[in-house]
């Protein structure tokens, strides 16, 4: 028996990467490994991405961890640097940075660097999160071109707010803003995240930025990853450590939140919100055990959760429950919980063992 662990299928990862590489054609792939590679293990996943052209992370410590593990592929810091003192570190480690504010631009211009940085300029075309204003973009771009601290021409990038619903008008509005800037700059471009890439919203991209789809998960609410030809990379699992019969009217777990409507049998799995499984998972959220799904009952505890096995089940202590994986798509679990697959994957806790299938 084992407490919570996640089997990481590296063959599935390679399958997904090949599929995306083929779809990208002449475009380059910036593989997104934020949040510990969406819970899959930052450095190990990075080592498997030989067919990607670069790696994108959110934080400086993620980028440095990759360099310390011998990853030599180009790395792009998607939120940019937070402090001017980080610029020398980025230059020494050959880490590329996104610029999205004048504050960052001024700090970069004033820095004394031994080696110039490759830079990506992010434009806010309508998401209104980070990025320079469209009317400021040409001036920012020219300043970056003129800076001795910038290596070559910046790459121009933006981010769709609604790419997971490709038909909405906002996508075309954002694209029109971005295209008008490109008419002036003739820059290399990066527009598409996973959803925009699969929906072909911006075929003029020079760089595409697949994240969620690398891990075999669909960015669209109406489709599963397997329907898109993808294979799920993570299978989150835990052992059943206890079974017991419950009489009608007896309750299970904290707050007596679930009461048996008839006599039944429950199983307790060694996984809980301390492992990243969502505490707010409602009654009926499925758990796959030995060929079929069983419903979650009661509140999720820190280290355990309960499922209703029924009196006709022959599931015993030691059986393995799958919280999500090929048998039970993470997209389905996310729907039950009322969240998105990204959150479930990224919340997998550090204490959950990542099993890549090659350790003794």
Q: Which residues are catalytic?
A: 34, 254
SS3 annotation, the chain: CCCCEEEECHHHHHHHHHHHHHHHCCCEEEEECHHHHHCCCHHHHHHCCCCCCEEEECCHHHHHHHHHCCCCCCEEECCCCCCCCHHHHHHHCCEEEEECCHHHHHHHHHCCCCCCECEEEEECCCCCCCCECHHHHHHHHHHHHHCCCECCCCEEECCCCCCCCCCCHHHHHHHHHHHHHHHHHCCEEECCCHHHHHCCCCCCCCEECCCHHHHCCCCCCCCCHHHHCCCCCEEEEEEEEEEEEECCCCEECHHHCEECCCCEEEEEECCCHHHCCCCCCCCCCEEEECCEEEEEECCCCCCCEEEECCCCCCCCCCCEEEEEECCECHHHHHHHHCCCHHHHHHCCCCCCEEECCCCC
Q: Which residue ranges are tagged as binding site for substrate?
A: 129, 302
Binding-site residue numbers are: 129, 302
């Amino acid at each position: 028996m084992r407490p919570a662990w996640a089997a990481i299928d590296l063959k599935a990862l390679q399958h997904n990467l090949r599929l995306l590489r083929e779809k990208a054609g002449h475009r380059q792939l910036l593989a997104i490994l934020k949040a510990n590679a969406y819970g899959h293990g930052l450095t190990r996943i990075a080592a498997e991405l030989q067919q990607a052209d670069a790696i994108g992370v959110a934080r400086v410590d993620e980028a440095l961890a990759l360099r310390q593990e011998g990853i030599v592929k180009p790395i792009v810091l998607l939120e940019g640097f937070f402090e001017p003192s980080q610029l020398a570190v980025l230059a020494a480690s050959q880490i590329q940075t996104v610029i999205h504010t004048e504050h960052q631009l001024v700090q970069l211009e004033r820095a004394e660097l031994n080696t110039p940085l490759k830079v990506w300029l992010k434009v806010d075309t309508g998401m209104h999160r980070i990025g320079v204003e469209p009317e400021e973009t040409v001036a920012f771009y020219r300043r970056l071109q003129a800076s001795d601290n910038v290596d070559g021409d910046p790459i121009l990038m933006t981010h769709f707010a609604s790419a997971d619903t490709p038909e909405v008008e906002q996508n075309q509005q954002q694209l029109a803003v971005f295209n008008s800037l490109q008419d002036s700059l003739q820059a290399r471009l990066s527009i598409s995240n996973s959803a925009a890439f699969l929906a072909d919203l911006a075929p003029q991209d020079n760089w595409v930025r697949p994240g969620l789809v690398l891990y075999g998960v669909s960015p669209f609410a109406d489709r599963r990853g397997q329907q898109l030809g993808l294979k799920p990379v993570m299978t989150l699992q835990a052992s059943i450590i206890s079974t017991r019969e419950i009489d009608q009217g007896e309750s299970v777990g904290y707050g007596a939140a679930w009461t048996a409507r008839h006599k039944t049998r429950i199983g307790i799995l060694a996984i809980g919100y301390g492992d990243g499984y969502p505490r707010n998972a409602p009654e009926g959220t499925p758990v796959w055990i030995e060929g079929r799904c069983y419903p979650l009952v009661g509140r999720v505890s820190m280290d355990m959760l309960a499922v209703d096995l029924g009196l006709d089940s022959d599931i015993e202590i030691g059986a393995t429950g799958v919280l999500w994986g090929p048998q039970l798509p993470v997209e389905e679990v996310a729907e039950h919980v009322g969240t998105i697959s990204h959150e479930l994957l990224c919340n997998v806790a550090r204490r959950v063992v990542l099993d890549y299938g090659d350790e003794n």
